[in-house]
Structure 1
Amino acid sequence: MIKVGIIGATGYAGQELVRILLQHKKAEIVWYGSKTYIDKKYYEVYQNMFQLVDADCMADNMEELADKADVIFTATPQGLCASLINEEVLSKVRVVDLSADFRMKDINIYEEWYGIEHKSPDYIKEAVYGLCEINREKIKKARLVANPGCYPTCSTLAIYPLLKEGLLEPNSIIIDAKSGTSGAGRSPKVNNLYCEINENIKAYGVASHRHTPEIEEQLSYAAGENLYVNFTPHMVPMNRGILVTAYGNLKKQVTYEEVKAIYDKYYKKEYFIRVLDKGICPETRWVEGSNFVDINFCIDKRTNRIIMMGAMDNLVKGAAGQAVQNMNLLFGLKETEGLQAVPMFP
């Protein structure tokens, strides 16, 4: 059994890690870390865990945890993992960080967009970006995995194949994205109150959202050159889900069959990526509670642009599910272990 420690187990992504790992045949949670609920029973924080988890919440002590676990998940705000990580920890245990601390290779970009000093820049180069379908072989050998952000996961997977195959004008990409409110985390904020969110949809982080440089970096790898995107996220009044609609200029005229063949080249053997039938648009309700990403596209011949669409659960494939997928790769397990839950409906 893989012994798992979770730092930040009482946030939404942390709780989702617990939910998934309780159904994992090869994993055992040995540490439920929480800064806010130390010594409180975990099920008292999340009543859905009553009679499933009897453990107490423990402090975020990574060095002590490294002696007890085989892998540590850090489902914490930006800056915490970078302040805790060191060579002693990494010599004992593998770390999957769900924050943005190690996602971007340029420390200056990280510090500019997140507004904090990076506490362990020496490990940025070593960290492997944990987008499993693209970096699978590198992840298997890693000590430190940077679990991707939710918007970057959905955006990159929807766009990556067409950029990689040279079909898109790199600097023409516009990404319009919608997310459920769980993406804002569990900490109380006025903007997340029921009366502020219900019966409302709003853009936020316009031309300034912190996931922008992460998306640009990953798509730049695909394009083979540096590129910039327009990325606008929106909050919608639902608990879970992300819907991405991205637009790009085509370099040449293409048929549906040609584009479909490209997506099939990259994703036909990927269990968690479902390229939908012609004319079917991805919807968040068909992936809720699962690790699936539904993808499709539409060619607009009138404007010579292509519309790329993706839908996924922001807490599963966008956070905890992908983190467990990374863990499975790290330990040589079947990649789908613990992650084959059928999407919930209604």
Structure 2
Amino acid sequence: MRHPPTLEAVAEAAGVSRATVSRVVNGSPRVRGEVVEAVQKAIAELGYVPNRAARSLASSRTHSIALLVPEEVSRFFGDPYFASFTTGLDRRLAASEYVLNLVVARDDPDRKAVRYVRGGNVDGAIVVSHHSGHEFLAQLEGVVPIVFGGRPEAGISAEPYFVDVDNVAGGRLATEHLLGLGRRRIATIAGPVDMTASMDRLAGFRAAMDDAGLPSTAIDYGNFTAPGAAAAMRRLLEEQPDLDGLFVASDLMATGALRVLAARGIRVPDDIAIVGYDDSPAATWGEIGLTTVSQPSELMGATTVDVLLRLLGGDPDVPHANIVPTELIIRESA
């Protein structure tokens, strides 16, 4: 009877030590890319299957990571940004021994999510779409390594590890582009007031308008949803029907604003130029391609995993703030 391949056999086939194979199997970030490829090739050729249960008992690890989402389920699954971010998580985790567990906790009044994470069911956690008021997340501080997708509000974590873009700079970039096109009656549709990202983008809008000596008071809020942005667009047009520029703090919200403008016969970009934010698939859903600030969400998801794996591996040099660059993607809308 043919015996299953061992860790030693994989090490011999890959030309590395048994310890190196073990590090690769356990998802350690401290192995060079070419070595990882050699070990993974040997694993595939030999058909080696790690004994996860035995390793877990020996190391007191679950090899599971919680994706903790303190958000409405419909919003999380309905926003293309989160789909892309989660794709980045999944693709990067595929090269490790970790599996991803989705934990939805809108307000977690019964502390089920907290109890789950604190109960030793996962080795680490990634938190996305967090709002101010989610102080229950502070109860996870020091329990397991946690990385936030986006800079969290004060009170959620004392010294958070997070992956984000410079949202103030992104909001400024979008608004300055509209100003550069000669638009002067510019409004913005912001996200929720209880999210750091939306308030930072709004701060960037205000700073650019202030620097141009123009009023920055044409502001409404769309809650990062298309229906919310459509309602905000109607209110803005009632207050200032001669708008010639609009910065919308997410591409998904921009789709709602565009529908309202089309229904009223307002031409984009002739009458009003629009810039969105994210460069998500929503930017190209309609007939008019959306100029947008690129937030590389898939890369951000992958980077979040990299940071967490480094923490799980005991790396003492992991930076707390991990900022991914943005850029302006120009399409027909502006």
**TM-score category by the smaller chain?**
0.3 to 0.5
TM-score by structure 2 length?
0.37
Q: If you compute each CA radius of gyration, which structure gives the higher value, 1 or 2?
A: 2
Which structure has more helix as a fraction of its residues? 2
Which structure has more strand as a fraction of its residues? 1
TM-score by structure 1 length?
0.36
